[in-house]
Structure 1
Amino acid sequence: MASGVATVWLPVEDMGRAVKFYGETLGLTVKSEGDDWSELTTDGLTIGLNGREDTHDGATGGAVITFEPDIDLYDEIVRLTDAGVEFVGEVSNNPWGRIATFKDSEGNDLQLFEPPPS
């Protein structure tokens, strides 16, 4: 049985662009940066950015990372939209919380999550 998540790896086409997106746009801490591998951290989780193989045709499916913003969900959507992020569809309202879906700079799926009020 897994006791937690140690690292999430995401494939990227352009390492510099991806590090800028996760570091500057999303505000994660850049731990290390290289041509084929970079690491960022958020709330104790390491996110690895892995340079795609030349034989790969681009983002198609894969892992989804869900972030819980420090501020109101809609305020974070405005902040990210102002930074050039495009959201996919409307915010999904569910009994278990709200989800806003967007893409990173490399085409990977990301989400913002806000739990229901307690």
Structure 2
Amino acid sequence: MASGVATVWMPVEDMRRALGFYGETLGLSVKSEGDDWSELNANGVSIGLNAREATHGTGSGGAMLTLQPDGTLYDEIVRLTDAGVEFIGEVSDHPWGRIATFKDSEGNDLQLFEPPSG
């Protein structure tokens, strides 16, 4: 039985660029960094940046990572857009919350999640 998320692995093409995106643009703290593996802390969840092996072609995505912003969804969209992040489509509203989708520096799918108010 799974008891929770231990680590989320994100495949990356360029470790330096990915560390800049996750550490500086998203504001996650870097726990360790290396050429083939780096790790960040996302409020107690470890995010591993895993260098793609030379035998793998470039991918159009990989693992899906959903992040919950500290402030409002729209404030974080503005902040990330100002940092050069391009969002895919509009914010989608659901009974269970709102989602805004974008890609990281390596082409992986990411989302911002805001739970329903009230």
Take 2:45 and 2:75, find their aligned partners in 1: how far apart are those partners? 24
Cα shift at 1:42: 1.1
TM-score for both structures, normalised by structure 2: 0.97
1:84-95, aligned counterparts within 5 Å? 84-95=84-95
Q: What fraction of aligned residue pairs are identical, expressed as a percent?
A: 77
Q: Distance in 1 between matches of 2:114 and 2:102?
A: 15
Structure 2 segments unaligned to the other structure (5+ residues) = none
Alignment of 1:67-78 (within 5 A): 67-78=67-78
Partner of 2:16: 16
Aligned to 2:85, the other structure's residue is in SS state coil
SS in structure 2 at match of 1:50: strand
Aligned AA (1:90) = E
- Is residue 2:104 matched to residue 1:104? yes
Check whether the contact 2:66–2:113 (CA below 8 A) recurs between aligned residues.
Answer: yes
Tell me which residue corresponds to 1:43: 43
| Runs of 4 or more above 4 Å deviation | none
- Distance in 2 (CA, whole Å) between partners of 1:18 and 1:61 is 13
Secondary structure, counterpart of 2:20 in structure 1: helix
2: CA distance, partners of 1:94 / 1:61: 23
Instruction: Name the residue aligned to 1:6.
Output: 6
After superposition, give the CA deviation of every residue in 1:51-92 in whole Å (9 maximum; x if it has no partner): 101121112343110000001100100000000001000000
Deviation at 1:39, TM superposition (A): 0.4
Counting matched residue pairs gives 118
Q: What is the rounded CA distance, in whole Å, between the counterparts of 2:39 and 2:21 in structure 1?
A: 13
Contact 2:61 2:107 in 1 (8 A): no
| 1:19 aligned counterpart, secondary structure | helix
State the TM-score, normalized to the length of structure 1: 0.97
Q: Distance in 1 between matches of 2:84 and 2:92?
A: 21
* Distance in 1, Cα, partners of 2:63 & 2:89: 19
Aligned-partner SS, 1:8: strand
1:62 paired residue number: 62
